């Protein structure tokens, strides 16, 4: 999969792209990431100007952005604008994006981007949360990594991604490692039992409990199997008893 990032700060990406999953996926040829600087498409390096109508903050000019995007855009490209006005990123959107072959992500800075860029490319607008950042670079990294985790070969075991929080509309169950006991807190016996079906059911039940406690809005009964609903009823009975 190819990612093109349009950013005036290409060096921002050097360290994050040099570690962990993103480094491995690039080395394996699973993903390809390029950073394009709009300043390279100007004569004087100026990519911002004052707002028409007055007001605080500078605005990114349309010409260098359009030229940068067109430089990397192909017939199969999908353009994404990182913006607070966008749809909030969740795992369902991430799954949809994994079906794309080429994503171009526009990272705004300053007060924002000239609206004509949106009119020209009609990008998919995505927000990584209801808060304000100084630019779209962090959001672009979030999107790249969340997608890369779901591409076969990026992780040592794809089951690791399949059991992540949000992947099945639930938060992940509690996880443990050695030692068996730490500060008088013991690992649940069932996890040391070797009984795989019982362990799987315990984990599913704990996922329901955690989701109901911390993120109940994630749940929708139509998403779960009959067995899941039976576990959910157990959890609800336990909460009401």
State the pLDDT confidence band at 225, using cuts at 50, 70 and 90: confident
pLDDT digits (tens, 9 = 90+) for 11-41: 999 999 999 999 999 999 999 999 999 999 9
What's 8's domain CATH number? Answer: 3.40.1280.10
Higher pLDDT, 236 or 8: 8
State the pLDDT confidence band at 166, using cuts at 50, 70 and 90: low
Question: Please, what sign has the CA dihedral across residues 177, 182, 188, 192?
Answer: positive
Report the predicted TM-score, pTM, of the whole model to 2 decimal places: 0.85
Instruction: Identify whether residues 59 and 140 lie together within a single domain.
Output: yes
Instruction: Identify whether residues 53 and 136 lie together within a single domain.
Output: yes
The helix (H) or strand (E) run that includes residue 102 is strand 102-106
Q: Is the pLDDT of residue 221 over 70?
A: no
Domain that holds residue 94: 2-148
Compute the residue count for the chain: 241
All residues at 6 or more sequence positions from 134 whose CB lies less than 8 Å from its CB, including other chains: 109
Which residue blocks in the chain are alpha helix, DSSP H? 20-27, 62-72, 91-97, 115-121, 137-148, 158-162, 196-214, 226-240
Question: Please, what sign has the CA dihedral across residues 141, 142, 144, 150?
Answer: positive
Q: What percent of the chain has pLDDT over 70?
A: 93
Q: Two tokens at 124? A: 């998919």
């Amino acid at each position: 999969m190819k990612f093109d990032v349009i950013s005036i700060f290409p060096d921002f990406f050097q360290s994050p792209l040099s570690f962990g999953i993103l480094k491995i996926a690039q080395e394996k040829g699973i993903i390809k990431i390029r950073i394009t600087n709009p300043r390279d498409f100007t004569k004087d390096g100026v990519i911002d100007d004052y707002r028409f109508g007055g007001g605080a903050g500078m605005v990114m000019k349309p010409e260098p952005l359009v030229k940068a995007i067109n430089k990397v855009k192909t017939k199969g490209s999908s353009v994404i604008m990182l913006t607070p006005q966008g749809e909030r990123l969740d795992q369902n959107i991430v799954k949809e994006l994994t079906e794309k072959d080429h994503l171009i992500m526009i990272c705004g800075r300053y007060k924002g981007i000239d609206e004509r860029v949106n009119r020209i490319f009609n990008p998919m607008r995505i927000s990584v949360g209801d808060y304000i950042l100084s630019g779209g670079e962090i959001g672009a990294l979030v999107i790249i990594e969340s997608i890369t985790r779901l591409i076969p070969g990026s992780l040592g075991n794809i089951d690791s991604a399949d059991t992540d929080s949000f992947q099945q509309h639930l938060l992940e169950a509690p996880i443990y490692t050695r030692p068996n006991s730490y500060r008088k807190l013991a690992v649940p016996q069932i996890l040391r039992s070797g009984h795989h079906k019982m362990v799987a059911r315990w984990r599913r039940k704990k996922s329901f409990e955690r989701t109901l406690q911390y993120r109940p809005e994630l749940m929708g009964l139509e998403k779960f199997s009959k067995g899941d609903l039976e576990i959910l009823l157990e959890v609800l009975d336990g909460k009401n008893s």
